[in-house]
Amino acid sequence: MLDNIQSNEILDRLPAHLQQYIKPQNYDEYTPVNQAVWRYVMRKNVDYLSRVAHDSYLDGLKKTGISIDSIPNMYGMNRILEEIGWAAVAVDGFIPPAAFMEFQAYNVLVIASDIRQLEHIEYTPAPDIIHEGAGHAPIIANPEYAEYLRRFGEIGCKAISSSHDYEVYEAIRELSILKEAEDTPKEKIEEVEKRVEELQNAEVKPSEMSQIRNLHWWTVEYGLIGTPENPKIYGAGLLSSIGESKSCMTDAVEKLPYTLEASRKEFDITKPQPQLYVTPDFAHLSLVLEEFANKMALRKGGLEGVRKLIDSKNLGTIEFSTGIQVSGNFSRVIEHEGKPVYVQTEGKTALSYREKELVGHGVSNHPEGFGSPVGSLKGINLSIEDMSPRDLRAYDIYEGENISLEFEGGVKVEGEIITGTRNLQGKIIIISFKNCTVTYNDEVLFQPEWGKYDMAVGKNIISAFAGPADHSSFDLITHKPSTTTIKSKKTPEREELESLYKAVRNIRNGENTKFSLQAAFDIVRKHHPKDWLLSVEIYELAVEDDPKLAEEVKEYLQQLKEERLEVAHLISDGIEMTDSKMATP
């Protein structure tokens, strides 16, 4: 699965359904302009974030091998990340939230390996290597935070989604791609923006996944740490946005204490955030996560958990009190006095115990669904799972016996017992019948001509969660995104500009170059009047070696600021970074 990708022990543990999202980084595809964008953002970030970011950020940059001057090569990053028990993989833009979180559960950082265009240097709604590599990676060097991230992934990937969630994911993915692509018609962006807004404003009950995604956004992506009066940045979205990392520290952005309330606060990925949440320390993040997990169907199960799986219209799992797990697409639940008394799946279904498929109970054995009563027998105080072998014999729940079992709530199972399957504690978890009829009042739920009937045993449902219990039970290699990231167009003008950026980069690195600094500046000024970053880079080098050229470039940049007001602050920051560096003894 990991062909053309340098693997390691951590990546080798990844199941095939996650490996399908991984793609090679293709480092050679990064252009000199890409490298300059990375360098500008990192120079500005390290300078500014050294004052406002959590201490773990700068320490983490060193520990994770992330350079200020060059886009990180993930193979090199992995060698260093492995020392702290993590790894990184490249993916194409946004991947489904459940998959993203499951990667975290395996201690794997997902990195969208594309990089933002120069036009979006301050912020892009599309995930890119600046956001992922320079934002997420450094903080995971902090052990407390890394454990929070892993635990978040472990719990988050079990959160139950709704069909509405998937529509929102697809729309946001498309919008992020269109906004980052060159020459996307304004009308097309507005059309998709409208669709995203309609979906986000739709009157739907928030799913577990949408709520835990909110917690992820307000911590992992946009989190502050400390006190509302004196916060520091640790969220990757802020660490990688040279615009929002500054604006978020002003009084214009409200600072709220981080609590479970954040799970109900939606966000708009395309706009700066009007408020942010502040955690007192990283340990508090885990407290709120556990508080949320205690409300999830993962830990509560019951009727509500089954209903969530039915509403999701996706593959999910319920676990009975005996430990038997049923994985499939849940289609029906019969209830009695607020409790589930019968559950039904449709299509391929598998039965597992402790996340391991039971022999003889894979999807080939249950290709058209599975149904089973839940609960206690009517009129009997002792549930089947609590019966000793002697009790089972006394109630004729025994191999070869024809029996009628009536459950509380009206479900009746009648047939000849073939055998039973027990768990490690000796509790019976499955009873298999032949010539079996299952009814609910006057409705037939199973009839003899359908073959052998396997009944799961359990007095209640203790857990319900997204995905299968055993991933190997199902073919999950199905991800085909409706949209893919759009690469920059190659034009003669663009290629000439790239060659100028390469020449300046070579000069900085002491390598042979096609142009001198003066020649590169003359050409960019004459033929590329909209470009500003190359002149900032030329100014940085000229200040040290060619004061006359430096003065000429600075004068040009001042003029450019007046002509291009939208990037004037970026030009000023570029000049200031060089001037302050020269002023430092």
pLDDT digits (tens, 9 = 90+) for 481-521: 555 555 566 788 889 999 999 999 999 998 988 889 999 99
pLDDT of residue 542: 95
415, 434 contact by CB (below 8 A) = yes
* More confident: 2 or 419: 419
CA 70-71-73 angle, to 5 degrees, is 110
Residue extents of the structural domains in the chain: 9-290, 301-473, 492-583
pLDDT of residue 482: 53
Range from 40-49, 172-181, 371-380, 544-553 carrying the lowest mean pLDDT: 172-181
pLDDT of residue 206: 87
pLDDT of residue 1: 42
What digits encode the pLDDT tens for the residues 330-367?
Answer: 999 999 999 999 999 999 999 999 999 999 999 999 99
CATH pick for 301-473 out of 2.30.30.100, 3.90.850.10, 3.30.565.10, 3.40.190.10? 2.30.30.100
Q: Which CATH superfamily is domain 9-290 in?
A: Aromatic amino acid hydroxylase (1.10.800.10)
The answer to whether residue 260 scores a pLDDT higher than 90 is yes
pLDDT of residue 336: 96
Average pLDDT over the chain reads 90
Q: What value does the mean pLDDT take over residues 211-218?
A: 95
What digits encode the pLDDT tens for the residues 169-206?
Answer: 778 777 777 776 767 788 888 888 888 878 877 778 88
The answer to whether residue 304 scores a pLDDT higher than 70 is yes
* More confident: 115 or 439: 439
* More confident: 29 or 75: 29
pLDDT of residue 484: 55
Q: What value does the mean pLDDT take over residues 452-464?
A: 97
The answer to whether residue 3 scores a pLDDT higher than 50 is no
Range from 237-241, 253-257, 395-399, 494-498 carrying the lowest mean pLDDT: 237-241
CA dist 149 and 477 (Å) reads 25
Other C-beta atoms lying within 10 Å of the C-beta of residue 491: 9
The answer to whether residue 329 scores a pLDDT higher than 50 is yes
Distances (CA, A) of 92 to 88, 96, 391, 482, 485: 13, 11, 58, 12, 7
CA dist 399 and 381 (Å) reads 22
> Which residues are known binding-site members for Fe cation?
131, 136, 221
432, 452 contact by CB (below 8 A) = yes
pLDDT of residue 44: 86
Backbone angles phi, psi at 63, to 5 degrees: -65, -30
240, 268 contact by CB (below 8 A) = no
Range from 23-37, 188-202, 530-544, 566-580 carrying the lowest mean pLDDT: 188-202
413, 379 contact by CB (below 8 A) = no
Its sign, for the CA torsion 544, 545, 551, 555, is negative
Backbone angles phi, psi at 336, to 5 degrees: -150, 120
The answer to whether residue 2 scores a pLDDT higher than 60 is no
pLDDT of residue 430: 97
209, 98 contact by CB (below 8 A) = yes
209, 164 contact by CB (below 8 A) = no
- Of 298, 308, 224, nearest in space to 258 by CA: 224
The answer to whether residue 100 scores a pLDDT higher than 50 is yes
> Which residues are known binding-site members?
131, 136, 221
CA dist 116 and 129 (Å) reads 8
- Of 338, 334, 339, nearest in space to 321 by CA: 339
In sequence order, the 6+-apart residues with CB closer than 8 A to the CB of 452 are 418, 432, 433, 434, 436
pLDDT of residue 483: 52
Which pLDDT band, with edges at 50, 70 and 90, does 125 fall under?
Answer: low
Packed helices 533-545 and 517-527: angle between N→C axes, nearest 10 degrees: 150
